Structures are given as C-alpha cells and as structure tokens.
A and B are shown apart, each in its own frame.
Chain A
C-alpha cells in the first residue's frame, strides 16, 4: 500500500529514476506546543521515509541524550544547533527534506515558544500545508488556535491536524472523535481549502507512514499518504500575469532581455503586456532560456523576456497582463507581523521590499492589533515583537500589488530598519486605500515633529519627510558616473540634485550649497578636477555628511561605480527615524 517507502520500486532502478525526475514539490510547516511531539513526529517521517542516513542513525543510537521512552529518540534528528542541544530546545526555523516516490517534501520546522509568531510566519510564508499537532492528553489548547490562525493568515491553503500520543489514550476512538470535531470546527471557521484530522502515535509510528493496527476504527489516510496526495492548489499561476523585473540582461547591443521569476499567471510570445509604472504597452517577442526558447511559461518559472518595443523598464518595475492589472497605489492596508525587539514606531520611515522593488514607507496608522489567541481586534498605539496588527502604510512611490489572498508574491513585503539593516516586519497586503484616511492624516502631521507655532521647520522634520538627511558627495573627472548616480538616487526617491564645478569662487559655492543643505537635499558635486578648497567648503557646510568619492576607491567599471556610490550615499544620509522620534521626545 505504501509504495512511497520503497526506494527501489519492483520494476527496477530506471523506474525509480523516471519517477524521481517527475516528483512534485510540497512545502509544509509544523506547529505544536512544546512537548506535543513535533520533533519526534518529524524524526519519524524522516526515518520512515528512509531519509535518515545509517551513520546518523548510529550516532542517534549512541547518543547519551535519549529523552524519549522508546529505544530511539527521533527528536534528536531534528535538533539543530549546539546551544539548542544543550538547552534541549529548538530556537529557530530549521528546514528538513525528504522524498517519496511521488513528492519531495520541504519541512519548515518552527519551534513553539515565546518567539513563536515570528518563526511560524517565516516557515508559513512559503508553505502549501500546515501540520498542527495536538497532544490528545491535553486537548485543543489556546496555542492550537493560535497556530491555526497564523497558518490561515499567512495563506496556507491546507491544514493537517495530527492528534498525537494516541498510545497514551489507549487508542480510543471516542477521544479522537471529540478532538476531531473540535479542531475541524476551528479549521472551518478559518476557511482553509482543505483540513483533515489524523490519529497518530509519533513515537511508535502509528498512522505516520504505516497504518496503525492499534486503531482499526480509523479508515482514513496515513499522514504520509495525505501529504503525498493533497492537491497542490497553487493559485498564483492561475491568476493574471505578474512579472517583476529582476535584472536586465544585456550582453551586447543586440540583446536586451528582462530577467525575472514569474509571480503569477502565464506568458506566451505575442501576448500584450503592460509595463508598470510607465503604463506603456508592448508585446512579448520571445521567452529566452538557456535550454532554448519557450512557447509558454508560467509561475514560478524564472525566465528572460524580450519585448517587441524598446520601452523604459528596469529592476523594480513590473510587466503585467493588460486586461487584469494589479492595484497601483501608494496607500494600502496590510496585516503586519512584527519581528524585532524594538517596537514599531508610528510615522517612522522603513525600507519596504516588495518583489524586486525597494521603496521607503511610513506606517500611517495602526487600525488594531489581532489577539492571536482570541482573534479579537484590540486598539493599540504600538506593535511589539511577535504581535500582528492591521496597519495603514504609505510609500514614497506606488507599489504594484494584489491582495495577499490572491497572490502571495505580489501581496507580500518586508520592512527593513534603515539604520540597523534588520528585517523588522513582514506583511500581507489586504487592499488599497484610495486616500489617506483621517486617522492617518493626523499621524501624518507628526512629520513636523513637535514644532511649536512660529518655529521654523526643523531639520529632523525634513529628514523624516525625505527619509534621509542632507548630504554631499564630490566626484572628479567622471561626469558619466555622476549623472547616472543622480538618476539612480532619483529613481530611489531621494531628494537629489547635481551641481557642476563651474569654477565659481569659494564664497559663491558656500552660499549655494548652504541653501541646498538647509533644504535637506543630497548634493552631487561633479567637476573635472575638484579643488581642495571646494572640498573643504562642502565638508564644512555638510559637516558629517560629506564624502569625497575621489578617495572612495570606486570601481573603474562605470556601472559598478554608480551602484557603489549610491550605496555610500544612502548609508551616509541614512536616517533612523525611530531614533529621531525618541530624541525629540527626550529633548522636550
């Protein structure tokens, strides 16, 4: 019955090879409270699908750390790091792999403890299915509800509830039926595409990979059978074309191709497509790959598209279907999972990464926080680590997106703290907001900080608005690089201007750049050979925020030099607006 376990099917090795070249891929995540038996269950799946190597089994047999009542502590197979082994807990997301004759599986193993939400969200972001464990001696806990809720929120379509430790309940059908109706009711309320409930004993292996003789009353599938057969309903390739441009491939003047991974839908040569943000329409000329041109390609393939017309298109832009384009908006509502020990700061600027597009974003308002245990919406003024909240976000330039429920790639983004570079949040877009609502408008007025009447606008308020401080760089002799640098920074929505060294006397230069500095701009000063005197003026006017690019060791390759310079300018002028906000408070 469980042919999955036969690594070498009877017809011979070539059949094995044939099968394994055609495996489907299923990604799932596992959740459970501490001690529900999650590690044991995963160890069991790996072991029973023969994915554990002999030498690993040997070291398991020899291990001094058997915490189980069985001969082998399967949970040791999945314990990753030294610190965790010593503390006897798992602390982060770990990935495991196994395959049967039908599917290859990737398990995102997320531990249950205080950082749970963050870890589970990470594992759930790419999962097709969630396994939630229930210890039948404990029943459905508030943790179980939490896990199911997070799984649903992150858009995992399928749920498998494993009622574990059935051996401790005398393999009782009555106990199982009770837990089954309770947990399936929960699943129904959360609208999963599919949900099943399976009685197992992870320790002994009952109904994990082999049918249990102890539970003849159960006629459903084993866990592995279910994992092998649950339909892979990837909705992303059913939808309309979404092609975020990742990289422009241009080996010579005769070839210009747009490389990217199809995030939704299908593309064929001849199709009309629309480029965002330009709005220009063109047709697909060809789909280029190393293995030859394709007549059609769908999500999630990575391909290179050539277009019939020369249009303005680069990284961060998107090609979409002409008849069902995504939302294009600077304001939207999103469900945000906060992942940093520093709480979210209302009005602060973060770097938002959405597909291949990077843009500065501000949290305009927090509508409510979701209580993951009760599902209640609670009013709140801040969002802390492991909390989930519905927030209104504004970006400096528009995003091209779909609701997360429609497309997990174009509907998701992460937030990065511009100063620490940490990934602080992950979010799922719900809907565009047509304008800045009243609640957000008042938060937006925070842009002036605590400016008193008649007081001039503070530098900090300008920095908050621009997302960067004023800064200056000088660059001698490389006009092309300076011009492209200005364009690149402009595209990234920095307030940038370039002035040329026209031999003006120092005094005039000081006056001009003084005004630019006060306006909060980034100034690129370019010239054939910039004098020491002029450099000193820039350095004085912009104090800390001046950089002499002549000494920055830029690449001799122009394109690289532009990128390097842009990185330098961005880190030079970077603002941590959250710290800005706090400083202001402490000054008051």
Chain B
C-alpha cells in the first residue's frame, strides 16, 4: 500500500483523535461494532468476577492481552482490576516484552504473578533439543497448569479469539476444563444468549475468553481508537536479524548463531509475540498502528503463520488445546 496517510503514530500522544465513547451519548441504532464488542466483553469479565472465587487473568504481553486488560480496567472502573495478572514466562521471551510487562503492570497498579516451570528449566528444557511441541508442552502448558493449581484459581481469563485458528472457532466463551486441565471439544456446555454456566466441582476450572468474538482487525482498530500501549516490537524498525530457513529471527545479544549464519540489519516487526527462538519477524515499514492495519488488510497472511509451533503437525493447535494449552 502506498497511500500516504494523515494519521501518524498516536501511541505517544495522550488523547486519541477519535474516541469510541464519541459524543458521550450512544444512539442505539448506530452503535458501532467495537462498542458492541466492548460491552459484551465487559459483561463477560464482570460475570466471571462475580461468580468465581479466585479468577486470574493470563497476561501474555501481546496485543490481545493489552486489549483484554484495558477492558478489565473499564469493567471495574473506578475500582482497580480485582484479580491478579499471571504471566507464564518460558524464559525465552523477548527482553522488550518483559520490560514492557513490568513497567505497564506497575503503571496501572496491577498485581502481577510471574510463573515458570523451574524444574523443566533446571533440566535444560529448550526448543532446540526438545522440538517446539515438547518445549511448549513443558514451559507453557505444564507451567500454566502448575500456576493455576498453585494459585488455586478457579477461572482464568485468556485473550484467545475464535478467528485465530480453526479449532478455536468452536471454543465456548466459558470453556470448561476438567481436573487435569483438559478440554473436551465433543462435550462442551451449550452456551446461549449471554448467560454463562459457572458451576464447577473442586479442582476443575473455567477458561474465560472475553475476546472470543473479536477479530485481529477489531483488536487493532480498538488499540488505535483507544490508544492502548503495546510492546514496541510490533512496530517496524531497523533491527539486527539472522535469516534461518524461511524465517527472519531477531538476533538477540546472547543468541548463538548456527554455523554459516551471520547477522544483518533489516526493517522488520513482529506480527505476533511468542518466544524468541520460535517467533519470526516480518519485513515491514509499518511503524504506526494505522500502518499496521493497512499492512494487515493488504497482505492477508494469518497472524500465527510466523509461529513455528502451529505448523509442526496438521491440527497441532487442537492437540495442544486438548492437553490444556490456551
């Protein structure tokens, strides 16, 4: 896309030029889709907080988490977000993500829990020797289940969207998990209107997905309209990278290069944020939210494409989800 836009990066300015709150009075007939989605998500967040004894929010530091967190702030305003944020840290996250996480949590006064599968890390779990499947199993899925168990959480908010991936399309907003944390896609509770069944037995829990009905475009539009801070890795900038297979990997300071590899500087950004060894960057000039949106609607590649993990095996996301992954 080559059009020049009048809209510059607004992530640094205080006030968005177009607030969704708009005229401060909503006309029912003309309520825009983001406002409707926002109202629905706030309803879901409040419902779960009212009905569960110990909810927690899975905070992944990505753009979806950022939107979900803003919705939580809105849901309980002027009160504080009434549950802790849980970050399952594989120890392989980009340093910029960790820095953003810590400063943002501090800024909004959130209660942040960082959890790692220490045992697996001590035993040297890493994606290179284990393969991404196994590594994710230990450092994400097992770590998550461990954190939920340790905290005694009976509900966990996740930022997953149904449009992300085929097997997510059938996920309920309240997704029931048995005592082993597993998902049974064939035996889900019917979910009608905006009524959610929160009844569980001890040891079971519910994953609650307030962003179920949002698309990637909705998320970006909302970030734009609400001026929500996101990790700078999403914005294009000259970065040191190595080309590995068909992927562009960021060359972090402590990263070992494989034989024959050398670093170079390219203008790139991350489309989705995962672990540094398993998430590739894309070449891009998009250094503002509108440019990211523009790029997104022009290129039409799905956002998880740059994650190695989903492609290992056909239907691999579904397999992981059954086991307890988000």
Q: Which residues of A contact B (CB under 8 A)?
A: 7-8, 12-14, 16-17, 20-25, 50, 52-56, 78-83, 85, 91-97, 99, 103-104, 106, 109, 118, 121-122, 125-126, 232, 234, 237-238, 246-247, 249-251, 255, 257, 259-261, 266, 288-302, 304, 315, 339, 351, 353-356, 408-409, 412-414, 416, 418, 421-423, 426, 553, 555, 560, 563-564, 567, 571
Contact = CB atoms under 8 A, between A and B. Distances in A.
A7 B28 contact: no
Given A92-B188, A234-B28, A24 B167 contact: no
A409 B42 CA distance: 16
A257 B46 CA distance: 13
Interface stretch (B128-136, B197-205, B233-241, B276-284): B197-205
Interface string B46-83: 11011001100000000000000000011111111000
Nearest to A82: B315
Interface residues of B, number: 85
B97 interface: no
A137 B72 CA distance: 51
Interface of B: 1, 3, 5-7, 18-21, 24-40, 42-43, 46-47, 49-50, 53-54, 73-80, 152, 162-163, 166-167, 169-170, 185-186, 188-195, 197, 199-202, 212-213, 215, 217-218, 221, 224-225, 290, 293-294, 297-302, 305, 315, 318-319
Contacts of A55: 301-302, 305
A95 B135 CA distance: 30
B155 to A, nearest CB: 12
Contacts, number: 243
B191 to A, nearest CB: 6
Contacts of A409: 193-194
Contact of A289 (B37, B74, B186, B319): B74
B306 to A, nearest CB: 10
9 contacts: A8-B298, A13-B5, A16-B297, A24-B31, A106-B213, A295-B24, A298-B31, A408-B193, A423-B197
B80 to A, nearest CB: 7
A408 B49 CA distance: 24
A399 B39 CA distance: 24
Contacts of A416: 197, 199
Contacts of B189: 422-423
Contacts of A560: 53-54
Given A53-B301, A251-B80, A24 B201 contact: no
Given A94-B169, A96-B169, A99-B217, 13 more contacts: A8-B1, A13-B5, A21-B34, A55-B301, A81-B166, A85-B315, A247-B46, A247-B50, A300-B39, A356-B47, A560-B54, A563-B53, A567-B53
Contacts of A54: 299-301
Contacts of B195: 353-355, 412-414
A25 B305 contact: no
Contacts of A257: 78
B25 A296 contact: yes
Contacts of B74: 289-291
B167 A339 contact: no
B32 A24 contact: yes
Given A80-B170, A296-B25, A97 B77 contact: no
A14 B10 CA distance: 14
Contacts of B21: 289, 291-292, 294
A508 B166 CA distance: 64
A460 B15 CA distance: 63
Contact of A23 (B32, B167, B294): B32
Nearest to B318: A82
Contacts of B36: 25, 300
B200 A302 contact: no
Contact of A304 (B26, B77, B217, B299): B77
A566 to B, nearest CB: 9
A339 B3 CA distance: 53
Nearest to A115: B190
B307 to A, nearest CB: 12
B192 A121 contact: yes
B50 A571 contact: no
Sort A-B residue pairs by CB-CB distance and give the 6 closest, nearest first: A291-B21, A302-B42, A53-B302, A237-B28, A251-B79, A421-B199
Contact of A22 (B32, B302, B318): B32
Contacts of A315: 50
Given A246-B50, A289-B77, A292-B24, A79 B199 contact: no
Contacts of B27: 298
A182 to B, nearest CB: 31
Contacts of B78: 249, 251, 255, 257, 288
A259 B75 contact: yes
B181 to A, nearest CB: 17
Contacts of A421: 197, 199-201
B3 A13 contact: yes
Contacts of A412: 192-193, 195
Contact of B39 (A7, A250, A302, A339): A302
A297 B186 contact: no
Nearest to B40: A300
A291 B166 CA distance: 35
A400 B66 CA distance: 37
A54 B299 CA distance: 8
Contacts of A571: 201-202
Nearest to A91: B186
Contacts of A122: 190-192
B194 A261 contact: yes
Contact of B293 (A17, A247, A339, A567): A17
Contacts of B24: 292-295
A80 B25 CA distance: 40
B190 A118 contact: yes
A103 B30 CA distance: 11
A358 to B, nearest CB: 9
Given A54-B301, A261-B42, A289-B77, A12 B188 contact: no
Contacts of A292: 21, 24
Contacts of B302: 53, 55-56
Contacts of A553: 152
A423 B187 CA distance: 11
A81 B167 contact: yes
Nearest to A250: B79
Nearest to A417: B199
A126 B37 CA distance: 13
